[in-house]
Amino acid sequence: MAFNLVYKGPQLRGECWQQAVAEALPDANWFTWPDVPAPEDVDAIIAWTLPDKALKTFPNLKAIFSVGAGVDQLQPDTIPDSIKLVRLIDPSLTQQMQTYVLSSVMMIHRDHFLYQAQKAQKNWQQHKVALPHECSVSILGLGELGKAVAEQLSMLGFTVNGWSRSAKQINGISAFHGPQGLSDMLATTDILVSLLPLTEETRGMISADTLAKLPKGASVINAGRGEQIIDEDLLAALDSGHIQYAILDVFKDEPLPESHPYWTHPSVHVTPHIASITRNDTAGHRLAENLLRWQRGERMTGEVDKTRGY
């Protein structure tokens, strides 16, 4: 089977991925949107967001490959069952997320916010140093990324909890699931980390009610999706002192508007959606490997259950 593939995205990435695919599948035909001479012959689209009216433009489409780990931007519930939806699973994405969350946890655990504030006042004052096991880190989402992050933090001695929609077992991790499990986990959490995909169930999940269930002085890290946090509720919890710090990499509107209070809030650290960025080199090989699996009739890595959204 000679695939007809349409790529939509940055030029440099497209050139890199085209080469990787050509080496693995010499018969594949690679087209870059919008230069697609025969839309009716297209088998798959490789993109972060689909072209307008893509499902009508490409009537014989068989697969959509996301160029990132997420697929919510592709609106899975609107894609017919006949079309495979595949998210990117790449070890480099996992490693980046591990280092991002670890560095964020360490910023909070080792009081970098506090010492940065003291620096502005030229205040030389030491504070008690907590050991890792004295800090409870809870991960929302125990998928590919969440599991790897939880295991790394556990190896470093942190007390690690994890929550997922259904029950899971991970060595060294206290796993919770369901609504009651979430409440139980939040009650003993010092640092809450969201790595959840965006679904209708997770949209607005970190609300005033969720934050109120955390102990006073807890902190929040969000590297999942911005829509999972109700900004006004988090800001109110920060201003009241119930939540101590927030480290945020994802936002409802990106780029984050210049007028947004997160930019100037002293207890908020902002990064521009860089926790886990698709690398052209490694991700191109993952795409080529998946296309080979598809050609052989095997299940591809990262195939999405569209009813669940991940």
- The rounded distance, in Å, linking the Cα atoms of 230 and 201 is 14
pLDDT at 309: 86
- The rounded distance, in Å, linking the Cα atoms of 67 and 63 is 13
Domain 4-90+278-295 has CATH 3.40.50.720: yes
Residue ranges of domains in the chain: 4-90+278-295, 93-270
Structure tokens at 10: 């940055």
Q: What is the SS3 string spanning 127-158? A: CCCCCHHHCEEEEECCCHHHHHHHHHHHHCCC
Selection from 245, 244, 262, 265 nearest residue 253 by Cα? 262
Residue 273 is among the residues annotated as catalytic for this protein: yes
Residue 279 is among the residues annotated as catalytic for this protein: no
Residue with tokens 């900004």: 231
Tens-digit pLDDT string for the chain (310 aa)? 799 999 999 999 999 999 999 999 999 999 999 999 999 999 999 999 999 999 999 999 999 999 999 999 999 999 999 999 999 999 999 999 999 999 999 999 999 999 999 999 999 999 999 999 999 999 999 999 999 999 999 999 999 999 999 999 999 999 999 999 999 999 999 999 999 999 999 999 999 999 999 999 999 999 999 999 999 999 999 999 999 999 999 999 999 999 999 999 999 999 999 999 999 999 999 999 999 999 999 999 999 999 888 8
pLDDT at 145: 96
Q: Which of 110, 242, 265, 273 is catalytic?
A: 273
Domain 4-90+278-295 and domain 93-270, same fold? Reply is yes
- Single-letter amino acid code for the residue at 66: S
Q: How many CB atoms neighbour CB 208 within 10 A?
A: 13
User: Hey, what CATH class is 93-270 in?
Assistant: alpha beta
Q: Which of 13, 109, 165, 225 is catalytic?
A: 225
pLDDT at 171: 94
Q: What is the SS3 string spanning the chain? A: CCCEEEEECCHHHHHHHHHHHHHHCCCCEEEECCCCCCHHHCCEEEECCCCCCHHHHCCCCCEEEECCCCCHHHCHHHCCCCCEEECCCCHHHHHHHHHHHHHHHHHHHCCHHHHHHHHHCCCCCCCCCCCHHHCEEEEECCCHHHHHHHHHHHHCCCEEEEEECCCCCCCCCEEEEHHHHHHHHHCCCCEEEECCCCCCCCCCCECHHHHHCCCCCEEEEECCCHHHECHHHHHHHHHHCCEEEEEECCCCCCCCCCCCHHHCCCCEEECCCCCCCCCHHHHHHHHHHHHHHHHCCCCCCCECCCCCCC
Selection from 263, 306, 296, 260 nearest residue 74 by Cα? 306
